[in-house]
Amino acid sequence: MSAAIAWIFILVYPAYRLVRYLRMKRYFASPEFIAQKQEVAAVVAEHNDVSGYVAEIRDSGKFSIGHSSTGSQAQLASYDNTSKFKYKRDRNVADYASSNVHNSSLQVVRNASSDPIKYLIKYFDIPADEEKLADIESMGESISRLEDAIENLQLREASISTAIAPPGFILKHYLEEFRTQVGLSVPRLTIPYPEYVFQYVSAGGNSSQESRIELNSSAIDSLIETLSEKIKWKKSAAGQRSLMTAALREFIKNRDKYACKSCKVSIKDEAHLLLEVDHIMPVSKGGLSIETNLQTLCWKCNRTKSNKY
Ligand SMILES: [Zn+2]
- Distance (Å) from CA 193 to ligand 1 centroid: 28
- How far does the centroid of ligand 1 lie from the alpha carbon of residue 266, in Å? 9
**pLDDT at 233 > cutoff 80:** no
CA of 276 to the centre of ligand 1 (A): 10
Q: What is the CA(119)–ligand 1 centre distance, in A?
A: 41
Q: Ligand 1 mean position to 156 CA, how many Å? A: 18
Calculate the dihedral angle through the C-alpha atoms of 54, 195, 131, 246, rounding to the nearest 10 degrees: 50
pLDDT of residue 91: 44
Instruction: State CA 120 to chain mean position distance.
Output: 20
In angstroms, what is the span from residue 155 Cα to ligand 1's centroid?
A: 19
CA of 148 to the centre of ligand 1 (A): 16
Q: Does residue 309 belong to any structural domain of this protein? A: yes
What is the 50 CA–ligand 1 centroid distance (Å)? 14
Q: What does the alpha-carbon distance between residue 174 and residue 17 come to, in Å, rounded to a whole number?
A: 12
Average pLDDT rounded to a whole number, residues 95-118: 82
The DSSP call for residue 189 is: -
For residues 145-151, average pLDDT? 93
- Distance from residue 271's CA to the centre of ligand 1 (Å): 14
Ligand 1 centroid distance, CA of 256 (Å): 12
Binned at pLDDT 50, 70 and 90, residue 12 comes out as confident
Distance 169 CA to ligand 1 centre (A): 39
pLDDT mean across residues, the chain: 85
For ligand 1, the distance from its centroid to the CA atom of residue 77, given in whole angstroms, is: 56
In a domain, 279, yes or no: yes
In angstroms, the Cα distances linking 239 to 93, 138, 152, 295 are 45, 17, 34, 20
Instruction: Please check whether residue 99 lies inside any domain of the structure.
Output: no
Cα-based angle 137, 155, 24 (whole degrees, multiple of 5): 140
Sequence-distant contacts of 294-298: CB under 8 A, at least 24 apart: 294/248, 294/252, 295/252, 295/256, 295/261, 296/252, 296/253, 296/255, 296/256, 296/258, 296/259, 296/260, 296/261, 297/260, 297/261, 297/262, 298/260, 298/262, 298/263, 298/265, 298/273, 298/274
Residue 217 lies in a domain: no
Whether 252 is in a domain gets the answer: yes
Q: Is residue 103 part of a domain?
A: no
pLDDT of residue 88 exceeding 50, the answer is no
Question: According to DSSP H, which parts of the chain are helical?
Answer: 2-29, 31-39, 41-60, 106-114, 116-123, 130-164, 168-173, 175-182, 217-230, 246-255, 299-308
For residues 49 and 284, what is the distance between their CA atoms, to the nearest angstrom? 27
Domain for residue 267, yes or no?
yes
Q: Which pLDDT score is estimated for 306?
A: 81
What digits encode the pLDDT tens for the residues 204-220? 777 888 899 999 999 99
The boundaries of the domain holding residue 287 are 238-309
Highest mean pLDDT among 85-99, 149-163, 184-198: 149-163
Q: Is residue 250 part of a domain?
A: yes
pLDDT digits (tens, 9 = 90+) for 42-68: 999 999 999 999 988 888 877 877 555
Closest by CA position to 284, among listed 258, 248, 308, 255? 308
CB atoms within 10 A of CB 152: 19
Distance, CA 274 to ligand 1 centroid (Å)? 10
- Measured in Å, residue 305 CA sits from the centre of ligand 1 at 10
For the chain, the first-to-last Cα distance in angstroms comes to 75
pLDDT band at 284 (very low <50, low <70, confident <90, very high): confident
- How many whole angstroms from 43 Cα to the centroid of ligand 1? 17
Domain count, the chain: 1
Does residue 307 have a pLDDT over 90? no
* Average pLDDT of the segment spanning 241-261: 94
Distance CA(222)–CA(247), nearest Å, equals 12
pLDDT tens per residue across span 163-194: 999 999 999 999 999 999 999 987 777 888 88
At 92 the pLDDT is 43
Question: Average of pLDDT values for 224-247?
Answer: 80
Ligand 1: centre distance to CA 246 (Å): 21
